[in-house]
Structure 1
């Protein structure tokens, strides 16, 4: 039975591949029947590929100094927030993921299926850092709470906050 299913699958894939090239030698042509409006995450040997969707600046408590700027990927839907940085094997210090929630609540994150150590930064609706969980242990299912209400959560590499002197009371700005 399994052999039969494999043969059907191979035949279907072959037919689909042949169908894309029939009757059109123009390399710029697009088969509109296969175009989708949703953006699929690209899988790499490093896990899901980073997708820059904005930039974020860390501002000092006084607001006078920009401490650091990074590129961010956004997690705005329940599915995106659920997936987060799971299965990624590395990330640069110039990258992070910003989780955006619809409301201010106490939050708690965990590191299930997350292979890199992270600093988890909890941010309120005034864009102020209200707490930080540093050096979160990869693959841990331990709850890492915010202890205060937060609307945003930013995940960056473990040690980022110490390295760039990011702390409670600092602010963020993103676009």
Structure 2
């Protein structure tokens, strides 16, 4: 009888996890579509427009530090990073940001290393997009990306991390494919 209760309890736990996962997916879909729902209406989008105009709504929040390191293990440059490590943060990224200091960037962390693709839709700032594998090695750099572009910037190789910095950053500091990143969360 104890085994039946244990099996029943495990099945209930599995069911609860499945229902919670489905609810999370539905909620995520809702959140991802929410800005589009507001943008389609001329009236009733005052809150979203206010948030877009309010620079603090999309201001930088330091969540970590990241160093670019060359093949001699020498630090090239260190920046402060905001971390995007969930679906909503990764989908939003640096969209709607009007300013980012030279020593700042965004670090995207994906759950698995795989080919990645980014675009610049709703991104005001021109960026350098740096794709990094699970070992911290830079595998691809797209420099001077075009704001608002729907061009797909591909990693070319599997990547677990993506670093976005202001356009021209990679050239200014001589960051190249084959260099590495080292980072820490605060």
> Shared fold by TM > 0.5?
yes
Match of 2:126?
117
If each structure's helix is expressed as a fraction of its own residues, which one has the higher value?
2
Contact 2:52–2:96 (Cα < 8 Å) also in 1:
no
Count of residue pairs the alignment pairs up = 134
Q: Are 2:87 and 1:67 equivalent residues in the alignment?
A: no
SS in 1 for 2:144: strand
After superposition, the Cα gap between the structure-2 partners of 1:42 and 1:87, relative to the gap in structure 1 and judged at 3 Å, is: closer
| Structure 1 match to 2:9 | none
Match of 1:153 in 2: 162
Structure 2, unaligned runs of 5 or more: 1-50
1:44 shift after superposition = 3.2
Matched, 1:50 2:60: yes
CA-CA distance at 1:90 after TM superposition: 1.4
Asked whether 1:91 is paired with 2:89, we answer no
Q: Return the offset for 1:92.
A: 1.0
Structure 1 residue ranges (4+ consecutive) displaced by more than 6 angstroms after TM superposition: none
Aligned equivalents of 2:80, 2:52: Cα separation in 1: 18
1:140 aligned to 2:149?
yes
Deviations 1:49-98 (A, max 9, x none): 100001000101121x1000000000000000000000001111110000
* Cα-Cα RMSD: 1.7
Distance in 1 (CA, whole Å) between partners of 2:53 and 2:60 is 10
Larger radius of gyration, structure 1 or 2?
1
- Between Structure 1 and Structure 2, the one with more strand by share is 1
1:118 and 1:158 in contact (8 A); partners too: yes
